[in-house]
């Protein structure tokens, strides 16, 4: 028998799924940081497979959220907000996978230290997103979410500065034109991953403002 709690969308399934998606996004950033610290290249199938599996898992979660939206009569948050947050979260492991794919086929010199600095900021941004998403279940207080959003904005701002510094080093470093072009694109993709976290955090912040 279908309970009234589930019928009117008062169960925890959407919170569970959104939190799982945010955790998967964080996992992908931690994998990236781990591999950058361990190796200067991604050549084994198993290396790439971990990122692919993380993205696929998050894609299944995103699809499940869409299916549940179709089946649930009343949702705890507006449908558009749930869908927007779901898609924003999915874009994080998706771009991380793309970064690793590019790294795996790059044959030149890899300035690992620069990528590690970017990966550290990406991890900070992803952690802030997880915290913000988990606040939704408990009727998020604006102050706590605002503080996390400020941490996220700080990480995004620092990532911009780091990227600019890395590109400056490229222009003055021992790289030929092709290496400079490829590495600049990779640095920009890393910065874009931080932007994806910022976008997800912005969705959460707007939801909290709406219900505060």
Show Cβ contacts of residue 38 under 8 Å, excluding neighbours closer than 6 positions: none
The closest alpha carbon to 120, from 158, 71, 165, 63, belongs to: 158
Q: Report pLDDT for 211.
A: 82
Query: What average pLDDT is seen over the chain?
Result: 88
Q: How much of the chain exceeds pLDDT 90, in percent?
A: 66
CA dist list (Å): 192 to 9, 125, 151, 162, 197: 35, 12, 17, 13, 9
Q: For the chain, how many structural domains are there in total?
A: 1
Q: Please report, for the domain that includes residue 139, its CATH number.
A: 1.20.58.220
| The pLDDT of residue 7 | 41
- Answer for the pair 62, 90: CB distance below 8 angstroms, yes or no: yes
Q: Is 56 helix (H, G, I), strand (E, B) or coil?
A: helix
In a domain, 3, yes or no: no
CA pair distance 88, 37, nearest whole angstrom? 27
Q: How many CA atoms lie within 13 A of 143 on its CB side?
A: 0
Q: Is residue 179 part of a domain?
A: yes
Q: For 179-195, how does the pLDDT look when each residue is reduced to its tens digit (9 = 90+)?
A: 999 999 999 999 999 99
Share of residues in the chain with pLDDT > 70 (%): 90
Does a structural domain hold residue 63? yes
Task: HSE, CB side, 13 Å, CA atoms: give it for residue 109.
Answer: 12
* CA terminus-to-terminus distance, the chain: 34
The DSSP code sequence of 20-35 is: HHHHHHHHHHHHHHHH
pLDDT tens per residue, range 97-148? 999 989 888 888 888 889 999 999 999 999 999 999 999 988 767 899 999 9
6 within a domain of the structure (yes/no): no
User: Measured between alpha carbons, how far is 170 from 162 in angstroms, rounded to an integer?
Assistant: 12
pLDDT exceeds 60 at position 42: no
Domain membership of residue 15 as a residue range:
11-211
Q: How far is CA 62 from CA 44, 68, 89, 142, 155, in A?
A: 28, 10, 9, 26, 26
What is the rounded CA–CA span in Å between residue 37 and residue 54? 19
Residue 4 lies in a domain: no
Give domain status of residue 1, yes or no.
no
């Amino acid at each position: 028998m279908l309970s009234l709690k589930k019928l009117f969308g008062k169960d925890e399934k959407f919170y569970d799924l959104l939190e799982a998606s945010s955790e998967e996004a964080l996992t992908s950033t931690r994998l990236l940081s781990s591999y950058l610290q361990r190796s200067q290249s991604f050549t084994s199938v198993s290396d790439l497979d971990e990122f692919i599996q993380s993205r696929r898992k998050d894609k299944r979660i995103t699809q499940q959220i869409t299916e549940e939206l179709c089946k649930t009569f009343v949702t705890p948050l507006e449908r558009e907000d749930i869908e927007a947050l779901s898609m924003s979260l999915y874009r994080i492991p998706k771009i991380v996978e793309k970064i690793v794919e590019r790294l795996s086929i790059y044959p030149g010199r890899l300035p690992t230290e620069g990528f590690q600095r970017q990966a550290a900021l990406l991890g900070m941004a992803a952690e802030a997103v997880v915290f913000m998403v988990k606040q939704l279940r408990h009727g998020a207080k604006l102050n706590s979410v605002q503080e996390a959003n400020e941490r996220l904005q700080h990480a995004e701002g620092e990532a911009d500065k780091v990227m600019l510094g890395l590109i400056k080093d490229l222009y003055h470093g021992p790289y030929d034109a092709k290496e400079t072009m490829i590495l600049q694109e990779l640095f920009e993709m890393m910065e874009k991953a931080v932007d994806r976290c910022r976008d997800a955090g912005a969705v959460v912040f707007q939801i909290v403002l709406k219900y505060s």
